Amino acid sequence: MTTNAEIEKGPLDPVQACLLMDDPQALSCLEELIKNWPEDETCKPSLVLLGQGDCLPCSEEYELHAVAIEAGIIEVVDFDSPRGADIAKRNGIEAVPSLLLLDCNDTVIEQAGESAPVASV
């Protein structure tokens, strides 16, 4: 299991390091990373909760993540909005609620495969 201290020492990309953690530690790590992302970085990742109007599971997810939503760490996007439809189409999302880790182009950031490089030297 990867710890925050290992991330700081890394050679791992911080986002990928968070993704290697077990739930819910991975989500906490990502929330902290996004909250403290340097302002001068051009491509900030984001956590987006894709939901829809009268969806009961969506309401439960909103409640579960209320603190992070209120703090602006998780952004709620309606599936039926233009942006929500674009995110869903671009990433093959067919069901809500979906909590997504997106790059600055609204593309899902996935855990790198073992053969894929996750660090830059």
DSSP strand pairing (74-78 vs 46-51) = parallel
Asked if residue 54 is part of any domain, the answer here is yes
12 and 58 within one domain:
no
Asked if residue 51 is part of any domain, the answer here is yes
71 and 49 within one domain:
yes
pLDDT (0 to 100) of residue 74: 97
Asked if residue 118 is part of any domain, the answer here is no
pTM of full prediction above 0.75: yes
Asked if residue 80 is part of any domain, the answer here is yes
51 and 30 within one domain:
no
Asked if residue 24 is part of any domain, the answer here is yes
State the Cα–Cα distance between residues 83 and 54, nearest whole angstrom.
19
* Structural element, H or E, at residue 6: helix 4-9
Residues contacting residue 58 through CB under 8 Å, at least 6 positions apart: 51, 52, 96, 97
pLDDT (0 to 100) of residue 7: 41
100 and 48 within one domain:
yes
- Tens of pLDDT along the chain (121 residues) come to 444 444 444 456 899 999 999 988 999 999 999 999 998 888 889 999 999 988 999 999 999 999 999 999 999 999 999 999 999 999 999 999 999 999 999 999 998 863 333 332 2
96 and 47 within one domain:
yes
| Cross-sheet strand order for the sheet of 74-78 | 74-78, 46-51, 98-102
User: What radius of gyration, in Å, describes the C-alpha atoms of the chain?
Assistant: 15
104 and 58 within one domain:
yes
Asked if residue 32 is part of any domain, the answer here is yes
Q: What domain range includes position 9? A: 1-36
Paired tokens of 107: 């593309």
Paired tokens of 115: 């053969």
Which amino acid does the sequence have at 110? E
